[in-house]
Amino acid sequence: MGMAGSWAAPSRPRASLEGDGGGEASVTIRVHPEWAPIGAEHFRDLVERGWYDGARVFRVVPGYVAQFGLPAEARPPAPSIEDDPVRVPNRRGTLAFATAGPNTRADQLFINLKDNLPLDGRGFSPFGEVVGDGMQVVDGFYSGYGEEPDQERITKLGNLYLNKQFPKLSFISRAVVTD
Protein backbone atom coordinates (compact mmCIF):
# COMPACT_ATOMS: atom_id res chain seq x y z
CA MET A 1 0.00 0.00 0.00
CA GLY A 2 0.98 3.64 -0.29
CA MET A 3 2.99 3.33 -3.49
CA ALA A 4 3.92 7.00 -3.74
CA GLY A 5 3.75 7.99 -0.10
CA SER A 6 2.88 6.99 3.40
CA TRP A 7 0.87 8.53 6.19
CA ALA A 8 2.38 7.90 9.56
CA ALA A 9 0.93 8.95 12.88
CA PRO A 10 0.98 11.51 14.42
CA SER A 11 0.84 13.58 11.20
CA ARG A 12 -2.52 15.03 10.12
CA PRO A 13 -2.58 14.35 6.39
CA ARG A 14 -5.43 15.53 4.22
CA ALA A 15 -7.16 14.60 1.01
CA SER A 16 -9.57 16.69 -1.01
CA LEU A 17 -12.64 15.39 -2.81
CA GLU A 18 -13.43 17.95 -5.49
CA GLY A 19 -17.07 17.94 -6.45
CA ASP A 20 -19.56 18.54 -9.24
CA GLY A 21 -18.28 21.98 -10.13
CA GLY A 22 -14.65 21.00 -10.62
CA GLY A 23 -13.53 22.30 -7.26
CA GLU A 24 -16.02 24.81 -5.94
CA ALA A 25 -17.76 22.03 -3.98
CA SER A 26 -14.73 20.44 -2.33
CA VAL A 27 -14.71 18.30 0.79
CA THR A 28 -11.50 18.15 2.79
CA ILE A 29 -10.81 14.93 4.66
CA ARG A 30 -8.37 14.91 7.55
CA VAL A 31 -6.94 11.41 7.67
CA HIS A 32 -6.07 9.94 11.06
CA PRO A 33 -3.64 7.04 10.53
CA GLU A 34 -3.64 6.41 14.28
CA TRP A 35 -7.36 5.57 14.12
CA ALA A 36 -7.08 2.93 11.39
CA PRO A 37 -3.60 2.65 9.85
CA ILE A 38 -4.44 -0.05 7.30
CA GLY A 39 -7.53 1.82 6.09
CA ALA A 40 -5.69 5.16 5.97
CA GLU A 41 -2.87 3.74 3.83
CA HIS A 42 -5.32 1.97 1.51
CA PHE A 43 -7.29 5.19 1.06
CA ARG A 44 -4.10 7.06 0.17
CA ASP A 45 -3.15 4.39 -2.36
CA LEU A 46 -6.58 4.52 -4.01
CA VAL A 47 -6.59 8.34 -4.14
CA GLU A 48 -3.11 8.39 -5.68
CA ARG A 49 -4.23 5.82 -8.28
CA GLY A 50 -7.18 8.03 -9.29
CA TRP A 51 -9.70 5.43 -8.12
CA TYR A 52 -12.28 7.99 -6.98
CA ASP A 53 -11.94 10.39 -9.92
CA GLY A 54 -15.35 10.71 -11.56
CA ALA A 55 -17.01 8.45 -8.99
CA ARG A 56 -20.67 9.09 -8.20
CA VAL A 57 -22.05 9.31 -4.69
CA PHE A 58 -24.42 6.47 -5.54
CA ARG A 59 -26.04 5.83 -2.15
CA VAL A 60 -27.29 8.66 0.03
CA VAL A 61 -29.58 7.70 2.87
CA PRO A 62 -30.57 10.93 4.66
CA GLY A 63 -29.82 10.79 8.36
CA TYR A 64 -27.51 7.80 7.87
CA VAL A 65 -24.68 7.71 5.28
CA ALA A 66 -23.42 8.99 1.92
CA GLN A 67 -21.58 6.22 0.06
CA PHE A 68 -19.21 6.31 -2.91
CA GLY A 69 -16.18 4.48 -4.25
CA LEU A 70 -17.31 2.39 -7.19
CA PRO A 71 -15.16 3.67 -10.06
CA ALA A 72 -16.44 5.72 -12.97
CA GLU A 73 -15.10 3.17 -15.44
CA ALA A 74 -16.00 -0.51 -15.23
CA ARG A 75 -13.12 -2.40 -13.61
CA PRO A 76 -12.58 -5.10 -11.03
CA PRO A 77 -12.88 -4.01 -7.42
CA ALA A 78 -9.80 -3.02 -5.48
CA PRO A 79 -8.23 -5.79 -3.40
CA SER A 80 -9.67 -6.29 0.07
CA ILE A 81 -7.68 -5.29 3.12
CA GLU A 82 -7.62 -6.53 6.69
CA ASP A 83 -9.83 -4.85 9.25
CA ASP A 84 -8.53 -2.26 11.65
CA PRO A 85 -9.95 -2.34 15.17
CA VAL A 86 -12.56 0.34 15.80
CA ARG A 87 -10.72 2.96 17.86
CA VAL A 88 -13.06 5.94 17.42
CA PRO A 89 -16.85 6.04 17.10
CA ASN A 90 -18.75 6.48 13.84
CA ARG A 91 -19.77 10.05 14.54
CA ARG A 92 -21.23 12.54 12.08
CA GLY A 93 -18.59 13.48 9.52
CA THR A 94 -16.32 10.47 9.97
CA LEU A 95 -15.22 8.46 6.94
CA ALA A 96 -14.95 4.65 6.88
CA PHE A 97 -14.75 1.83 4.37
CA ALA A 98 -17.91 -0.13 3.70
CA THR A 99 -17.66 -3.87 4.28
CA ALA A 100 -19.46 -7.05 3.39
CA GLY A 101 -18.13 -8.82 6.48
CA PRO A 102 -14.78 -9.33 8.18
CA ASN A 103 -11.69 -8.33 6.17
CA THR A 104 -13.65 -7.21 3.08
CA ARG A 105 -12.82 -3.50 2.99
CA ALA A 106 -11.90 -2.69 -0.61
CA ASP A 107 -12.88 0.59 -2.28
CA GLN A 108 -16.31 1.79 -1.18
CA LEU A 109 -16.41 4.52 1.45
CA PHE A 110 -19.13 6.21 3.42
CA ILE A 111 -19.39 9.46 5.30
CA ASN A 112 -21.59 9.30 8.39
CA LEU A 113 -24.42 11.82 8.14
CA LYS A 114 -25.21 11.44 11.84
CA ASP A 115 -23.72 9.69 14.85
CA ASN A 116 -24.00 6.02 13.83
CA LEU A 117 -22.65 4.41 16.99
CA PRO A 118 -24.23 0.97 16.28
CA LEU A 119 -21.75 0.67 13.37
CA ASP A 120 -18.88 0.55 15.86
CA GLY A 121 -19.86 -2.93 17.01
CA ARG A 122 -20.16 -4.10 13.41
CA GLY A 123 -16.49 -3.40 12.64
CA PHE A 124 -16.74 -0.17 10.65
CA SER A 125 -13.51 1.61 11.57
CA PRO A 126 -13.33 5.34 10.76
CA PHE A 127 -9.96 6.53 9.45
CA GLY A 128 -10.77 10.14 8.67
CA GLU A 129 -13.15 13.01 9.16
CA VAL A 130 -14.64 15.80 7.09
CA VAL A 131 -13.23 19.15 8.23
CA GLY A 132 -14.02 22.82 7.68
CA ASP A 133 -17.35 23.48 5.99
CA GLY A 134 -17.22 20.15 4.14
CA MET A 135 -20.28 18.72 5.87
CA GLN A 136 -22.38 21.46 4.25
CA VAL A 137 -21.27 20.01 0.90
CA VAL A 138 -21.88 16.42 2.05
CA ASP A 139 -25.34 17.32 3.37
CA GLY A 140 -26.09 18.69 -0.11
CA PHE A 141 -25.30 15.42 -1.94
CA TYR A 142 -28.28 14.42 -4.07
CA SER A 143 -30.38 11.93 -2.10
CA GLY A 144 -33.43 11.54 -4.33
CA TYR A 145 -32.50 8.04 -5.53
CA GLY A 146 -31.90 6.59 -2.05
CA GLU A 147 -30.59 3.05 -2.37
CA GLU A 148 -32.00 2.50 -5.88
CA PRO A 149 -28.74 2.40 -7.93
CA ASP A 150 -27.67 -1.23 -8.37
CA GLN A 151 -24.10 -1.75 -7.17
CA GLU A 152 -23.54 -4.77 -9.40
CA ARG A 153 -24.54 -2.76 -12.48
CA ILE A 154 -22.32 0.14 -11.36
CA THR A 155 -19.40 -2.29 -11.07
CA LYS A 156 -20.07 -3.71 -14.56
CA LEU A 157 -20.94 -0.47 -16.39
CA GLY A 158 -19.64 2.41 -14.27
CA ASN A 159 -20.96 5.85 -15.07
CA LEU A 160 -22.47 4.68 -18.37
CA TYR A 161 -25.22 3.14 -16.26
CA LEU A 162 -25.41 5.88 -13.63
CA ASN A 163 -25.43 8.84 -16.03
CA LYS A 164 -28.32 7.31 -17.98
CA GLN A 165 -30.44 6.01 -15.10
CA PHE A 166 -29.48 8.41 -12.28
CA PRO A 167 -28.30 11.66 -13.86
CA LYS A 168 -28.75 13.82 -10.75
CA LEU A 169 -26.20 11.97 -8.58
CA SER A 170 -23.51 14.11 -7.00
CA PHE A 171 -19.99 13.17 -7.99
CA ILE A 172 -16.33 13.53 -7.22
CA SER A 173 -14.54 15.04 -10.21
CA ARG A 174 -11.19 14.17 -8.67
CA ALA A 175 -9.62 13.17 -5.37
CA VAL A 176 -6.16 14.40 -4.40
CA VAL A 177 -3.75 14.04 -1.52
CA THR A 178 -3.10 17.50 -0.12
CA ASP A 179 -0.57 16.81 2.61
pLDDT bin (cut points 50, 70, 90) of residue 74 is confident
pTM comes to 0.91
Burial class of 169 by CB neighbour count within 10 A (0 to 12, 13 to 18, 19+) = buried
Question: What pLDDT, on the 0 to 100 scale, is given for residue 141?
Answer: 94
Rounded to the nearest integer, the mean pLDDT of the chain is 90
- Over residues 6-47, the pLDDT tens digits come to 655 445 688 889 876 444 478 999 999 999 999 999 999 999
Looking at the chain, the whole-number percentage of residues with pLDDT higher than 70 is 89
Phi-psi map region of 144: left, alpha, beta (phi>0 left; psi -120 to 50 alpha): alpha
Highest mean pLDDT among 16-20, 72-76, 82-86, 131-135: 82-86
pLDDT for residue 14: 86
> What DSSP element (H or E) covers 15?
strand 14-18
**Predicted pLDDT at 103:** 96
State the virtual CA torsion across 142, 43, 89, 27 in degrees, nearest 10.
-40
Quick one: 175 exposed, middle or buried, by C-beta within 10 A (0-12, 13-18, 19+)?
buried
CA neighbor of 124 nearest in space, from 146, 143, 108: 108
Taking the C-alpha atoms of residue 28 and residue 133, their distance in angstroms, rounded to an integer, is 9
